[in-house]
Structure 1
Amino acid sequence: MGRWLALLVVAALALVAGTVPGPALANDPAVSAWDGDGRAAVRLVGGPPGPDPAVLSAGVEIRLAPGWKTYWRYPGDSGVPPRFDFSASANVRAATVRWPAPKRFEDGGGTAIGYAQRVLFPLAVERIDPAKPATLVLALDYAICEKLCVPASGRATLTLPAGTQAGRAEAAAVTAAAARVPVPSTVGGDGPLAVRSVRVEGAWPKPRVVVAVAAPAGATPDLFAEGPGEDWALPLPEPMGEGPDGTRLFGFAIDGVPPGTDPRGATLTLTATAGDAAVEVKARLE
């Protein structure tokens, strides 16, 4: 809540130029109209058919002007994550958001985690009645940053028919975004991109976690760490060079833990990326 209040104050004191009138209505039934301004806008897109007729695929797309960025579910040193609200939808039991792998960005307030240019969040839309269309109604609150950070919002509505859901371009975009969602894995995995090991060094309550990441030849990996809840604020893992087996080492302190919480035994989520590939593992602090 404090971050949102800070963004509102900044927006009130420094209205950023570039706002344009609302977007025209979309002509393609597979997409909604864009809702936003010259800095950022939001729309819904239909996705390809899936194996389960009760679950439709779709996506929330954000476009950003050059120099602007928005945030991942864990924003890093600054910013706030986007908040998706589908409660006004019709014939929708649940709309599950999936998060493409992010990038880190250096800014004046530290290091942020998120997206630039365009990002599409794939959705799995479970219908109440599989024989009827679903009307997806989105209310999105998010933050965008250039030199200053300001709050943004978007509203979009899209009816997903019970049969074919999207044109070829929209289906391909949702499929491509889904391919950038981190693949669940385990510590010690042996794939081209893998979290080989996680070890805790130093004394509790603030030891250092060292993670070894294997990546394909020529690729530069990155690593992000999240606590078991939104009230955790772990630092970003920093590169520590190479391990003896050729893996890339990353380290971070167990800091930003909620007051009164003993981090021993907590399960962290580690996301390793390299190019368009990403894996996600759960690691228990021992």
Structure 2
Amino acid sequence: MNGPTLRRLACAFVILPALAVIAPAADGPPSASPWDGDARAAVRLVGGTPPPSAAFLIAGVEIRLGPAWKTYWRYPGDSGVPPRFDFAGSVNVKAARLRWPAPMRFADGGGTAIGYAGRVMFPVEVERIDPEKPATLSLALDYAICERLCVPVTARARLDLPAGDSEAAAVAAARARVPERTALGDGGPLAIRTVTVAEAGPKPRLVVTVAAPPGVVPDLFAEGPTDDWALPVPEPAGEGPDGTRRFMFVLDGVPPRAESRGATLRLTLVAGDRAIETTARID
């Protein structure tokens, strides 16, 4: 078993008393479900406004975190577990496509975690079975919250759609935080320019060159082609003569019997309020 996988399995989880469920307010707004949680973390569904002529409805899964608490991205880094969103109990919903807003990195014990703090909204595009009828979005969420120790949490929420739009601006802001897909080598002001193998061997060392607007410090995250890859979090490795920045990481954490050569990695570059995502094949 590889090092990053062992580190992830070593993340300390403590089972604490179940989180209290906050009862729905009698006069709660129709644009959001009641919060499910407590002062450490709570979850709700909110309604949004779809783009003009969209064939889907917009909603959001909002997680509210207390001071010093954090939760994880789809790839949690050296420790932690990703949240699991389940919309199987929904009514008149053909598909619920969840989008991941750009994350941040955290020092986490002896490693680096990737996730969110404060408040985070996950936009959801809801496609109905019958577009002429309303839908009910039902969420079952299993996630982890961490301060000094990590706590597994389960949350439930339901919201009738279309919903009110009092939270639409927050959902729209979250949609703007979802990384845009771009091509490797794009020449824009925020771009992943090159991915090169600096050292070959069983565990190649990769160097990723990125561009970011002046005065903005970018961050980079790397994911493997499948969920069982446990790649290290790329580390800053200086600036190039043309003002670009470099990140470096070793292709450690490759699953047994998997080959790094020929694999396609997903790279996410975050810079301020913008983020992009691209793929790169390792040759």
The TM-score with structure 1 as length reference comes to 0.92
Work out the CA distance in 1 between the residues paired with 2:217 and 2:58: 31
Work out the CA distance in 1 between the residues paired with 2:50 and 2:41: 29
RMSD value, Cα: 2.1
Equivalence map 1:232-271=2 (5 Å): 232-271=229-268
Structure 1 gaps of 5+ residues are none
What amino acid is the match of 2:74? R
Residue aligning to 1:104 = 105
Work out the CA distance in 1 between the residues paired with 2:235 and 2:228: 21
Residue aligning to 1:30 = 31
Work out the CA distance in 2 between the residues paired with 1:153 and 1:241: 41
On the 8 A contact 2:43/2:64 being kept in 1, the answer is: yes
Count residues in correspondence: 278
What amino acid is the match of 1:149? C
Equivalence map 1:119-268=2 (5 Å): 119-161=120-162, 165-167=163-165, 169-268=166-265
Work out the CA distance in 1 between the residues paired with 2:28 and 2:203: 55
Q: Kindly tell me: are residues 141 and 3 of structure 1, through their superposed partners in 2, closer, same or farther at Cα, counting changes over 3 Å?
A: farther
* Secondary structure in structure 1 of the residue aligned to 2:260: coil
Q: Kindly tell me: are residues 228 and 130 of structure 1, through their superposed partners in 2, closer, same or farther at Cα, counting changes over 3 Å?
A: same
1:217-275: CA deviation from partner (whole Å, max 9, x where unpaired) = 10000000000000000000000000122101000001100001111110000000111
1:206-226: CA deviation from partner (whole Å, max 9, x where unpaired) = 111100110001000000000
| Stretch of structure 1 that moved more, 172-181 or 24-33 | 24-33
Work out the CA distance in 1 between the residues paired with 2:253 and 2:84: 22
Residue aligning to 2:60 = 59
Work out the CA distance in 2 between the residues paired with 1:23 and 1:144: 21
Work out the CA distance in 2 between the residues paired with 1:200 and 1:6: 30
1:49-96: CA deviation from partner (whole Å, max 9, x where unpaired) = 333453101000000000000000000011000000000100000101
Residue aligning to 1:78 = 79
What amino acid is the match of 1:11? V
Alignment identity in percent? 65
Structure 2 gaps of 5+ residues are 1-5
Runs of 4+ in 1 over 2 A off after TM superposition: 2-7, 9-12, 18-26, 49-54
The TM-score with structure 2 as length reference comes to 0.93
1:151-202: CA deviation from partner (whole Å, max 9, x where unpaired) = 01110000003xxx432x4110110000000000011111111101111121
Work out the CA distance in 2 between the residues paired with 1:79 and 1:102: 14
